[in-house]
Amino acid sequence: MKLPLCRLVWIDGSYVPLEQATIPITTHAMHYGTTIFEGVRAYWNGENLNVFRLDDHIRRFRRSGGFYGISLNHTDSEVSDAITGICRENKLRESCYVRPFYFVGNHGINLHVTPDAPTVMAAFAFPFGDLFEKGGISAVTSSWRKFSDASTPVQAKMGGNYLNSIIATGEAKKAGADEAILLDLSGNVSEAPGENIFAVIDGRLVTPTLASSALEGITRNTILEVARAAGIEAVEQDMTRAEMMSAQEVFLSGTAAEITPVTIIDSKRIGDGGGPGPVTREMMERYTDIVMGRAPEYADRWLTPVYGA
C-alpha cells in the first residue's frame, strides 16, 4: 500500500523533510528487526484533530522496548509532543495515522543489544481513512500458528514479531480472502495479523485471553470497557475455532482497522453474512462517537487535541 506521507517527519527532536530521512545500511534494525513501533490514530471532527488514547500508546511504546533492553531515549512528554507535533507541523486537518517508532541504529551485526546501544526515534504521519470495507470482510484460518511467549515476548510490539503476520497475510491473500485468522499453539483462536478478534456467542461478546498469544490491543481494551458500560456482557476466554465459526457475529479491532465486521470465514457465512450484526453495529457507532468527541464521558481521558486545548 503506497502511503501519502506528509512532507515533514520527526527524528530525535527535529522536523526534517521526508527525502532527508535516511539511515546507514549498518542500522541494526534493518538486519535483525530490532525496532519498536506504535500505530496511532488522530481524528478530525471539523473543529480539532484529536489523538486517540495517546498516553496508552506511549506507555506500551516504552514497555515494548523494555522486553529487549532497548532504550527509548526520550521522555513521555517528548514522545507526546512528537506525535501531536508531526500532525501540527504538517498542518493536518483530516483524520490521519501516525507511526512513531524507535530502533537500534548503527550497531553493526552485534547480537548483544544493551540499553547503551545507539537508538533513534522517528515519527511520520499521513491522511488515513478506512483500512477495510466496513460492510464486512472475508477471512481464512491460517495454517501458520501465532508464536508464543515461549519463543519471544508476545506483548512487545516489535518489528521482528510481525514476520509471523506477514506470512499469514500472504497466505490469506493467495486464498482470495481479505484477512487471516491465526490460531495459537493449542489450536484456539488467537488474533488476526494486525488486529484482535471478537465474536458474539450466545449473546455474549467474547475475545480470546492474552494467554492465547493475542496482543493486549488498545482498541481491544476500549471495546471491553465500552461494551460493559453499555450493559453488554463482554468476557475474555478461550475461543475454539468451532466457536468462532458458529458465532452470531465476528469482528476485528485495531488502531488501523478500528472495528471491522467479518462476514465470511473459511467460505462460511457468519450470521446472515449480510453485514455487521447488531452488537457489532452498536460498537462501531459508539467507537465513532468516542473518537469524534461526541461522548463527553470519554473525551478528557482518551482524546488529546492537536490544535490548542
Per residue in 217-248, pLDDT tens? 999 999 999 999 999 999 999 999 999 999 99
Residue 296 lies in a domain: no
Whole-angstrom Cα distance, residue 122 to residue 144?
A: 32
Q: How many CB atoms lie within 10 A of CB 302?
A: 21
Overall domain count for the chain: 2
Comparing CA positions, the residue from 56, 76, 63, 97 lying closest to residue 218 is 56
- Which pLDDT band, with edges at 50, 70 and 90, does 274 fall under? confident
Comparing CA positions, the residue from 240, 257, 251, 261 lying closest to residue 205 is 251
pLDDT of amino acid 300: 93
Residue 263 lies in a domain: yes
* Residue-wise pLDDT tens digits, 122-173: 999 999 999 999 999 999 999 999 999 999 999 999 999 999 999 999 999 9
Whole-angstrom Cα distance, residue 97 to residue 70?
A: 25
End-of-domain residue from the set 127, 156, 184: 127
Alpha helices in the chain (DSSP H): 28-32, 54-66, 76-89, 163-174, 218-229, 241-245, 278-291, 296-302
Cell numbers for 183, please give them. 490460531
Residue 302 lies in a domain: no
Same domain assignment for residues 265 and 171 = yes
Residue 228 lies in a domain: yes
Query: Per-residue b/e over 250-289, b at no fewer than 16 CB within 10 Å?
Result: bbbbbbebbbbbbbbbeeeebbeeeebbebbeebbebbee
Query: pTM for this one?
Result: 0.96
Q: Do 177 and 168 touch, CB atoms closer than 8 A?
A: no
Would the pLDDT of 2 be above 90?
no
**Catalytic residue flag (residue 174):** no
Domain with 287, as residue range(s), is 137-291
Same domain assignment for residues 245 and 161 = yes
Domain containing residue 242: CATH number: 3.20.10.10
Whole-angstrom Cα distance, residue 159 to residue 308?
A: 33
Catalytic choice (157, 173, 174, 268): 157
Percent of the chain with pLDDT over 70: 99
Same domain assignment for residues 95 and 182 = no
Comparing CA positions, the residue from 105, 93, 84, 97 lying closest to residue 15 is 84
Residue 286 lies in a domain: yes
Same domain assignment for residues 243 and 100 = no
Would the pLDDT of 105 be above 90?
yes
- Which pLDDT band, with edges at 50, 70 and 90, does 309 fall under? low
Same domain assignment for residues 167 and 286 = yes
Backbone angles phi, psi at 73, to 5 degrees: -85, 40
* Residue-wise pLDDT tens digits, 240-264: 999 999 999 999 999 999 999 999 9
Comparing CA positions, the residue from 34, 38, 108 lying closest to residue 71 is 34
Same domain assignment for residues 266 and 220 = yes
Cell numbers for 102, please give them. 524507535
Percent of the chain with pLDDT over 90: 95
DSSP 176: T
Beta bridge partners of 126: 97
End-of-domain residue from the set 99, 127, 155: 127
Q: Do 125 and 92 touch, CB atoms closer than 8 A?
A: yes
Residue 196 lies in a domain: yes
* Residue-wise pLDDT tens digits, 37-76: 999 999 999 999 999 999 999 999 999 999 999 999 999 9
Same domain assignment for residues 146 and 280 = yes
pLDDT of amino acid 308: 84
pLDDT of amino acid 1: 60
Residue 49 lies in a domain: yes
